[in-house]
Amino acid sequence: MATSQAKIMSEFTNPDVEVLISAEQIKEKIRELGADIARDYAGRNPLLIGVLKGACTFLSDLIRAADIPLGIEFIAISSYGAEMRTSGEVRILKDLDVAVAGRHILVVEDIVDTGLTLSYLLANLESRGAASVKLVALLDKYERREKDVAIDYLGFKIPDKFVVGYGLDFAERYRNLPFIGVLKDPTQ
């Protein structure tokens, strides 16, 4: 027992990651967000759309904190290279499996950074005839915003640091950390 506990701790204690938001803080915030969403969307059978891959951890905890009938979907998008990014254009790598016309859509995103990806995605979903399109984001790196994005439900505002954990990666690593941390040196 003690040994397996120690093993878990060492697996989730990365010397290259400094804790910014603890697992407990995330849990508490998601309890509040889930209650807000359940209250606002009661009787509307919302469709929660998670943006792969980063938002999958957040989405899976969030839906268990929102005690109302709802549906889930996933979309995968990739932004173009640095120059194309300023146009805000993104490529849809995996589209939704259902039509969104007439549905109340809640996009679930891990982090809003420049806002370019989200502003494109929200406009795209609105153009498909959704009844409403709103956004829930766990993190807001507001200092780097280039395009205004209305975050209807927000977890935490964070400083302009590269963060990992709880779904967020650096080169596909660290997604499984149960907390949000700052990568001390991304080149390592």
137 near ligand IMP (CB under 6 A): no
Which residue lies nearest Mg ion, judged by its C-beta?
Answer: 54
Using CB under 6 A as the binding criterion, the count of chain residues that bind ligand IMP stands at 16
Residue 147 CA to residue 115 CA, distance in Å, equals 5
104 binds, among Mg ion, ligand IMP, none (CB under 5 to 8 A by kind): none
Nearest to Mg ion of 44, 175 (CB atom): 175
What phi and psi values does residue 41 have, to the nearest 5 degrees? -110, 10
- Cβ atoms of 107 and 51 within 8 Å: the answer is yes
Written as six digits, the tokens of 127 are 């153009």
**Interaction of residue 73 with ligand IMP, rule CB under 6 A:** no
Please calculate the CA angle 170-185-178 and round it to the nearest 5 degrees: 50
Tell which one of 50, 54, 88, 181 touches Mg ion (CB under 5 A): 54
Query: 180 to each of 2, 70, 113, 145, how far by Cα in Å?
Result: 25, 27, 15, 20
In the bound complex, what is the minimum distance in angstroms from residue 106's beta carbon to ligand IMP? 16
Helix, strand, or coil (residue 64):
helix
Contact present, 70 and 60 (Cβ < 8 Å): no
In angstroms, rounded to a whole number, what is the distance separating the alpha carbons of residues 86 and 83?
Answer: 6
CB of 80 vs ligand IMP, minimal distance in Å: 11
Residues 144-183 that bind ligand IMP (CB under 6 A): 162-164, 168
From the list 16, 67, 110, 113, the catalytic residue is 113
Q: Is 113 labeled as catalytic in the residue annotation? A: yes
Nearer to ligand IMP by C-beta: 33 or 108? 108
Nearer to Mg ion, 63 or 137 (CB): 137
Count of other CB atoms within 10 angstroms of residue 123: 11
Q: How far is the CB of 2 from ligand IMP (least distance, A)?
A: 34
Distance from C-alpha of 158 to C-alpha of 166, rounded to nearest angstrom: 15
For ligand IMP, give the closer residue by CB, 67 or 146. 146
3-class DSSP state of 150: coil
Q: Of residues 61, 73, 113, 140, which one binds ligand IMP by CB under 6 A?
A: 113
The residues annotated with a catalytic role in the active site are: 113
Can you give the binding site for ligand IMP, defined by CB under 6 A? Answer: 54, 109-118, 141, 162-164, 168
